Amino acid sequence: MTRNKDIHFEISERKVLLRILDVIFVLVGLYGLELFLDFDYLILNIENVIALLVFAFYITIFGTIFEIYDLQKSSKIDITFRNIILMASTTVLFYLFTPFVTPSLPENRLQIIYFFLTIIFCIFIWRLAYITFITTPRFYKRVLLVGEISNIENIVKPLRQSDPNYKIVGFINCESATDEPIKFKGLEEFEPNQLMQVIKDEKVSEILVATYDSETITPDIYHDLITLLERGFTIREYTQVYEEITYRVPIQFVGKDFYKYFPFSRSNQNKLYLVFHRTFDVLFSMLGLLFGLLIAPLIIIGNAIANQGPLFYSQERIGENGSVFNIIKLRSMVINAEIGGIKWAQRNDIRVTTFGKFLRRTRIDEIPQFINVLKGEMSIIGPRPERPFFVSELSRIIPFYETRHIIKPGLTGWAQVKTRYGSSVDDSLTKLQYDLYYIKHRSFFLDMNIIVKTLSTILYYRGQ
């Protein structure tokens, strides 16, 4: 039994494929304009290397901001078309307003329209091909799950949500038979003695082993897995795949051998990275406060009309190493919002004022926190600081919750750009998984990814 040879593109491969072919298709389109319409604004030659590189950079950056590389959205043609138009509009605008690295404006201004429409048309044609061919079942990775039946729902759901091309065809319960076996209806169950035949019939290319305790795997299944491994078949452990596909650390599967799951990023002790991080925090905070001063008159007027009361409010939060500090924000809730006791903020919370909703959705209410960043209590990027009351409650329920405090909290973070506002214990568990992923993989490139995705969150008005 050897591994199935069907083609499958991993998540990273599909994202790279989308980026590269976006640029190639647009360049081919520009070459077509040059041949048939006497287009000379951006000609493909050696003299324009810098201008072409800047053009490719803009497409990639604004494509990321407007989510044309989000694999879930890239499989939906209507959302893709909308995002391509937004990306093309912004790309052309920035390209025109950076003439020191881009060509001078053409005498025939109609060429700008051709330029804009070519970007939209070429990328959209390529995305139609991507949806038609690459996202079809032919390119699914077909996976057989071997694990304890009590874990299966918590395993299958996140993987399906994160990668639609990761197809779990069924499962085999690795535990010994019991008199009253538990049944799971979400997937087809195969008998342990069918393992080899299922791989052949279902064209399985990978086996995913998911178990709290490897001792529960029966000797027969263990023997078959060893045989498959010796023949070069791909067998992977669930937590590795979960982290790779969902960009979260599955702490619900972490037990006494927790040290295997938390080899935290060396960047947490890298002096050069930390100096760069702090320099970025200071410079970005100064720009943020300057922007806040510029829009302060509008905020004051809006607060007076639709948010009557104090402009600012302060609240205790837990910071690095469990230290307590006072966070500063623009008030978005009614006065005495917690007169009935501390409780989670909910979606469409009635305590949020009319103007407060605008402040939250645009993240403007966070601007005063740049003061906390300058004081060294927070960073631009990191886990969001939580209130002492909730930290105390969540630490008793969720394992490793206080691990998120080993670095400074941030204005934005991996959890903020990857999931919704937390309003329950389950939401807090999901956020913690993302926070620990950030701490584990912290790097310059992940920081830049968060900054870009934060822009998407603001532009698409997704604040709580």
Residue range 402-416: mean pLDDT, rounded:
92
Residue 253 lies in a domain: no
Higher pLDDT, 460 or 394: 394
Q: Could you tell me if 398 and 254 are in contact, meaning their C-beta atoms sit under 8 angstroms apart?
A: no
What pLDDT, on the 0 to 100 scale, is given for residue 70? Answer: 86
Alpha carbon separation from 1 to 145, 220, 279 (Å, rounded): 17, 16, 55
Give Dmax (Cα) for the chain. 83
Residue 258 lies in a domain: no
Shared-domain flag, residues 41 and 22: yes
What pLDDT, on the 0 to 100 scale, is given for residue 20? Answer: 94
Residue 251 lies in a domain: no
Which of 248, 279, 271 is closest to 261 using CA atoms? 248
Domain that holds residue 219: 140-246
Residue range 294-320: mean pLDDT, rounded:
89
Cross-strand bridge partners of residue 324: 318
Residue 401 lies in a domain: yes
Cross-strand bridge partners of residue 142: 167
- Res 65 pLDDT > 70: yes
Shared-domain flag, residues 204 and 288: no
Shared-domain flag, residues 409 and 308: yes
* pTM of the predicted model as reported, rounded to 2 decimal places: 0.84
72: which 2 tokens? 């879930």
Higher pLDDT, 256 or 415: 415
3-class DSSP state for residue 456? helix
**Residue 146 — very low, low, confident or very high, per pLDDT cuts 50/70/90?**
confident
Which of 212, 171, 211 is closest to 191 using CA atoms? 171
Q: Could you tell me if 410 and 451 are in contact, meaning their C-beta atoms sit under 8 angstroms apart?
A: no
Given 105, 134, 163, which residue is the final one in a domain? 134
What pLDDT, on the 0 to 100 scale, is given for residue 57? Answer: 95
What pLDDT, on the 0 to 100 scale, is given for residue 306? Answer: 84
- Res 183 pLDDT > 70: no
Across 104-108, 147-151, 170-174, 388-392, which has the greatest mean pLDDT?
388-392
Shared-domain flag, residues 411 and 326: yes
What pLDDT, on the 0 to 100 scale, is given for residue 309? Answer: 82
Mean of all residue pLDDT scores within the chain: 85
Across 94-103, 233-242, 409-418, which has the greatest mean pLDDT?
409-418
What pLDDT, on the 0 to 100 scale, is given for residue 424? Answer: 76
Separation of alpha carbons 343 and 329, rounded Å: 18
pLDDT, tens digit, 9 for 90 and up, residues 262-274: 777 788 888 899 9
Number of domains in the chain: 3
- Res 387 pLDDT > 80: yes
Residue 1 lies in a domain: no
Helix (H), strand (E) at residue 119:
helix 110-129
What pLDDT, on the 0 to 100 scale, is given for residue 268? Answer: 82
Q: How many CB atoms lie within 10 A of CB 40?
A: 13
What pLDDT, on the 0 to 100 scale, is given for residue 159? Answer: 84
Shared-domain flag, residues 326 and 443: yes
Shared-domain flag, residues 291 and 414: yes
